[in-house]
A and B are shown apart, each in its own frame.
Chain A
Amino acid sequence: MLEAVSALDAASFNGFARIEEAGLRGMITLRGDLGSTGVKNAATGVAGVDMPGRREANCVGEKGIAWMSPDELLVLVPYAEAEHAAGVISRALAGEHALVANVSDARAMFYVSGDGAREVLAKLSPADMHPETFRPGQIRRTRLAQVPAGFWMRDTETFEVICFRSVADYVFGLLKNAAQPGSEIGYF
């Protein structure tokens, strides 16, 4: 059996914020009617957190649920549990119009942490990163330079950033460049 590896094998960089590839993380795309009890129960049952509202992400450790769009959730579980968890959700929604896909190997995740973390993302994305606008518990899907990405805050100074695995190296490069010592703007 081949051993799974993450896109950049936990590469890291210390600038005015710390950039670190998160390694293997389990991610399940769940599309369906987010108002349905079946979908809510399937997602919360696997992730062990409350159902998020619009643009919210409820995360505890490596588990969580993020609101991706009016009909899409991202369910987070430890990597080793993802295939099993996707099966559990699929079976729970057998009679419903829903889509469940284990996308863990299609994605990469980065941690961006430290005082300057907010500024690093503000340099790369058109999202409003003001501390009063974007806070822990929220998710923002946007772009980082030229590629789609999404992020939420694990705590007041740690962001978890997701992107497609195929652009992981590009995103790592962007984040490193934006965090270069000496390039602080000090806006926030």
Chain B
Amino acid sequence: MLILHCPNCGIDADETELAAGGEAHLKRFGPGSGDEEFEDYLFKRENPKGVHFERWRHAAGCGKWFHAARCTTTLEVFGTYSAQTTEPPKEICDKISGKRPGWAWRLFK
């Protein structure tokens, strides 16, 4: 069972209280962008075996969104952090580097 710490209310919530919100840190391409950028924004997603960054919502709890960094193969959770950011915090990246040297995910490594 996946258990994520909600940084908004401080509860360690199991996945039955959570709603998955898909991939994290998507940059929205809207009006004025090219077709290719918009297509990428809508449809192109990572599908990693290993380190992944996702959005989750504490749906049956405080109702708030947050980010989670975890491993898709082992379900190890590296950390959760605020929804109001465009990149993972340094301490979580450092922690991942300690456990998965050489990891890379989209723009981050």
Contact = CB atoms under 8 A, between A and B. Distances in A.
A69 B60 contact: no
A63 interface: no
Interface residues of A, number: 13
B64 interface: yes
Contacts of B26: none
Given A126-B14, A143-B16, A143-B17, A70 B60 contact: no
Contacts of B59: 148
A141 B12 CA distance: 12
Q: Which DSSP category, helix, strand, loop or mixed, fits chain B's interface?
A: loop
Interface string A33-72: 0000000000000000000001100000000000011101
A60 B54 CA distance: 41
Interface in B1-34: 8-14, 16-17
B89 interface: no
Q: Which 8 A-B pairs have the closest CB atoms?
A: A143-B60, A69-B62, A126-B14, A148-B60, A141-B61, A70-B8, A126-B16, A69-B63
Interface of B: 8-14, 16-17, 59-64
